[in-house]
A = this chain, B = another copy of it.
Amino acid sequence: MKIDTLVVHADLFTMAGQGVGFIDDGAVAINGNKIVAVGASNELLKDYAADEVIDATGMMVLPGFVDCHMHTSLAIFRGLAQDTNAWMHKGIGPFVPFINEVSELAGSRMNILEALAAGTTTFCDYSSPILDIAAFFKKIGARARLTTSIKEVPPVKHKLKEHDLYPFDPAIGERTLSENLELVERWHGAEDNRITAMLGPQCPDQLSKELMLKVREIAKAKNLKLHMHVAQGDRETKQMLGRYQKRPIAFLDEIGYLDESLIAVHLTDATEEEARYVAKSGASMVVCSGSIGIIDGVVPPAVPFMEAGGTVGLGTDQAAGNNCNQIINEMKLTSLFNKIKYQDPEKLPAWKALRMATIEGARAVGIGDEVGSLESGKKADLIFIDLKAKTMLPVFKTPMRNHVPNLVYSARGHEICRVMVDGKTLYQDGKYLTVDEAEIIADCQMIANQISGSVSEENFAITTSATFMKEGKL
């Protein structure tokens, strides 16, 4: 059979089945944007004649990573919100008044390049300006599953007293909902379903019960997922107790939010029991270990969620807090944080972390039938890892394979030598094939220089790191 591309001689990790689905000297046959066969190289070489044969000798090939939750536009603030107990207020707070859609898009584009080169092929981006970001995803060729924030709280939160409930402004709710619906209208299913949309009620405390119910109705009618921050922290829990006398999970249960259409992000402040309850409802979880570790010092309950039968994907969240958007980093941190949390080095082994980064992540965001493993009929989203990179050396195949522990615990991203989405190579050997990297980098730095020049000492005075700067420590 005549096809477009045949990848051969790979150390192939398909992620099919219950483990990592290893095939020695493996091959993947690709036609158009789909995988048409996966198997042994000698067999596929007999069965298929390809326009392009990619020799993956000395490479590990696996499905591209699924980043289940990210705010790419916040990357414009990378490195400004760490080591503080209030990253949003004290970290990026002083800078927020000086950004606009142009600077957000500049941060977003740079961040997408970063993540793509580190193996992310599916981006669940929860950002603005989402229509421009969608257009960038169309251009760069990556898979995107997009959301905008639906909320009703005016931007005055930090002026409230601690026990005040947030005010809700229904006009903001209507506007943000219609923005999300415009995203759905214009992009859901675009590029042969490479770009899709979800609805994004921000979190239980930032929009009214009425609006939450309305969003849920729309989601059911249009068969859309709800991508929502849930049990983010004590601030949210206090708001929910104050307004409804219920903790976030109990409230969501009451209003019918806990089912398979919900993607519950974070669960930072959820108890293990609450996590298990959400898991059993059919909702999925996204754990952003790096982000929540750095901004809250907390390890969210992903392990009990999985043990209760729930599906958990990984998210990098936002670079302003987390600093980086690289799924290898999230695999390692998720595994290590949980070993420490339970003081058990056997907790969350490398192969489980890799499943969370691929097939489980794809399932968590509702596209497990399309991506997350290399199987016939799925989309051809593949990444290639150079096994001559020193961080992957030496390679053992028998009696034990060390590819997966080395990928999860040793690799740092630069080992990825080719990234393919929908059968097209987007990145290879350090070069981006569909966009102009130098222009994107220069643009991002120029915008940062403009913001830098605008932020006054007065705005800056509230940050924790300002003290460090004055003391010569930063």
When distances are taken between beta carbons in the complex, the residues of chain B under 8 Å from A445 are 393-395
Complex Cα distance, B468 from A21, in Å, reads: 12
When distances are taken between beta carbons in the complex, the residues of chain B under 8 Å from A117 are 390
Whether A402 is near chain B, meaning CB under 8 Å from some CB there, is yes
When distances are taken between beta carbons in the complex, the residues of chain B under 8 Å from A414 are 412-414
Q: Does the CB pair B80–A400 fall under 8 Å?
A: yes
Q: Does the CB pair A350–B113 fall under 8 Å?
A: no
Q: Does the CB pair A390–B441 fall under 8 Å?
A: yes
Q: Does the CB pair A294–B80 fall under 8 Å?
A: no
Interface hub of A340, A465, A466 (most chain B Cβ within 10 A): A340
Tell me the smallest distance from the CB of A420 to a CB of chain B, in Å. 20
- Which residue from chain B places its CB closest to the CB of A339 in the assembled complex? B297
Indicate how many identical chains form the complex: 2
Whether A397 is near chain B, meaning CB under 8 Å from some CB there, is yes
Whether A346 is near chain B, meaning CB under 8 Å from some CB there, is yes
Q: A319-B410, A336-B293 are in contact. Are A460 and B400 (CB under 8 A)?
A: yes
Whether A222 is near chain B, meaning CB under 8 Å from some CB there, is no
Q: Does the CB pair B460–A78 fall under 8 Å?
A: no
Choose from B20, B294, B342, B412 the contact partner of A336 (Cβ within 8 Å): B294
Whether A155 is near chain B, meaning CB under 8 Å from some CB there, is no
Q: What sequence of 0s and 1s flags, for each residue 43-87 of chain A, a beta carbon within 8 Å of any chain B beta carbon?
A: 000000000000000000000000000000000101110111101
- Which residue from chain B places its CB closest to the CB of A453 in the assembled complex? B398
When distances are taken between beta carbons in the complex, the residues of chain B under 8 Å from A114 are 390-391, 393
- Which residue from chain B places its CB closest to the CB of A388 in the assembled complex? B441
Q: Does the CB pair B394–A76 fall under 8 Å?
A: yes
When distances are taken between beta carbons in the complex, the residues of chain B under 8 Å from A409 are 79, 82, 294, 322-324
Interface hub of A19, A290, A342, A405 (most chain B Cβ within 10 A): A405
Tell me the smallest distance from the CB of A39 to a CB of chain B, in Å. 16
Tell me the smallest distance from the CB of A431 to a CB of chain B, in Å. 13
Q: Please list 18 pairs of residues, one from A and one from B, whose beta carbons are closer than 8 Å in the complex, sorted by A's number.
A: A19-B473, A22-B474, A76-B394, A79-B403, A79-B406, A83-B346, A114-B390, A114-B391, A290-B336, A294-B335, A296-B345, A297-B343, A323-B409, A324-B409, A329-B412, A394-B448, A399-B459, A399-B460
Complex Cα distance, B470 from A22, in Å, reads: 11
Whether A162 is near chain B, meaning CB under 8 Å from some CB there, is no
Q: A399-B460, A468-B349, A473-B19 are in contact. Are A405 and B297 (CB under 8 A)?
A: no
Whether A401 is near chain B, meaning CB under 8 Å from some CB there, is yes
Q: Does the CB pair A347–B297 fall under 8 Å?
A: yes
When distances are taken between beta carbons in the complex, the residues of chain B under 8 Å from A350 are 82-83, 474
Whether A333 is near chain B, meaning CB under 8 Å from some CB there, is yes
Complex Cα distance, B236 from A341, in Å, reads: 23
Q: Does the CB pair B346–A18 fall under 8 Å?
A: no
Q: Could you list which residues of chain A lie within 8 angstroms of chain B, going by C-beta atoms?
A: 17-22, 76, 78-80, 82-85, 87, 94, 107, 110-111, 113-114, 117, 290, 293-299, 319, 322-324, 326, 329, 333, 335-337, 339-347, 349-351, 388, 390-391, 393-406, 409-410, 412-414, 441, 444-445, 447-449, 451-453, 455-457, 459-460, 463-466, 468-469, 471-474
Complex Cα distance, B344 from A464, in Å, reads: 13
Q: A83-B350, A85-B346, A448-B395 are in contact. Are A340 and B298 (CB under 8 A)?
A: yes
Q: Does the CB pair B336–A394 fall under 8 Å?
A: no
Tell me the smallest distance from the CB of A234 to a CB of chain B, in Å. 11
- Which residue from chain B places its CB closest to the CB of A19 in the assembled complex? B473
Q: Does the CB pair A400–B469 fall under 8 Å?
A: yes
Q: Does the CB pair B472–A18 fall under 8 Å?
A: yes
Q: Does the CB pair A19–B410 fall under 8 Å?
A: no
- Which residue from chain B places its CB closest to the CB of A460 in the assembled complex? B399
Complex Cα distance, B79 from A402, in Å, reads: 5
Q: Does the CB pair B410–A412 fall under 8 Å?
A: no
Choose from B79, B324, B405 the contact partner of A79 (Cβ within 8 Å): B405
Known: A110-B390, A393-B444, A393-B445. 9 other contacts (CB 8 A): A78-B406, A79-B402, A85-B346, A111-B390, A114-B393, A293-B336, A324-B409, A393-B441, A399-B452
